[in-house]
Structure 1
Amino acid sequence: MHVYDTVTAALADLDTRGYQLDFNLTPDALECKEIELRLMPEEFEIDEVYRFEGMTDPADSAVVYAISSNVGNLKGVLVDAYGVYAENVSPDLLDKLKIHH
């Protein structure tokens, strides 16, 4: 497992390791707009998780997920603030994220 000081450093290194797509949360899936793809919880794995605490503001806390999928052999990242997704996503997607949170 790698150690990073900032979200930017984590994203830069993950990019060099092939995690090049940007995923966003939708209510029931991960979405990658650049390739018009939606991944349901059973279609992806969370390979690595990095947590960042806001030094002066807890609202600056974030989680970086390194995600891979056998659907198209894809790799990408999801950046999310702590707890923001909790009430906005399906139980299946929430369970998948919480396992690694």
Structure 2
Amino acid sequence: METQNFETLSEAINNLTQKGYTDNFVAEDTCIKALYAKKEYQPEDLKVDGFYRFEGMTNPSDQSKLFAISTNDGIKGTLTMSYSANHSQNIELIKQLK
């Protein structure tokens, strides 16, 4: 995937959606779920095609990362990881992504 710079998270998500990354992934306790496809995956079943980092406008420590992900069975989507104290993603599963 080519490298692009986006001003906002929503701009990046919209661009990736146009490129076919239409599902939303969430990293739960024991798996990463594709919400629309209603499927569960382990990190080895997923590939990170690209990622983008964003910092908050008012607080530079309010960071997030957007991952463009494809699965071994053809699902493409995004996973948003917030580095704020109120995130609900399983960071250890995300770290295992290729």
1:56 alignment partner AA: T
Would you say how many aligned residue pairs link Structure 1 and Structure 2?
A: 96
In structure 1, what is the Cα distance between the partners aligned to 2:80 and 2:54? 11
- TM-score, reference length from structure 2: 0.82
1:16 alignment partner AA: Q
- TM-score, reference length from structure 1: 0.79
Counterpart of 1:95 in structure 2 is 95
1:96 alignment partner AA: Q
Runs of 4+ off more than 4 Å: none
* Percent of paired sites with the same residue: 30
Counterpart of 1:41 in structure 2 is 43
Runs of 5+ consecutive residues of structure 1 not aligned to the other structure: none
In structure 2, what is the Cα distance between the partners aligned to 1:89 and 1:3? 26
1:37 alignment partner AA: K
In structure 2, what is the Cα distance between the partners aligned to 1:90 and 1:78? 12
In structure 2, which of residues 19, 23, 43 is the aligned counterpart of residue 17 of structure 1?
19
Bigger helix share: 1
* 8 A contact 1:27–1:90 mirrored in 2: no
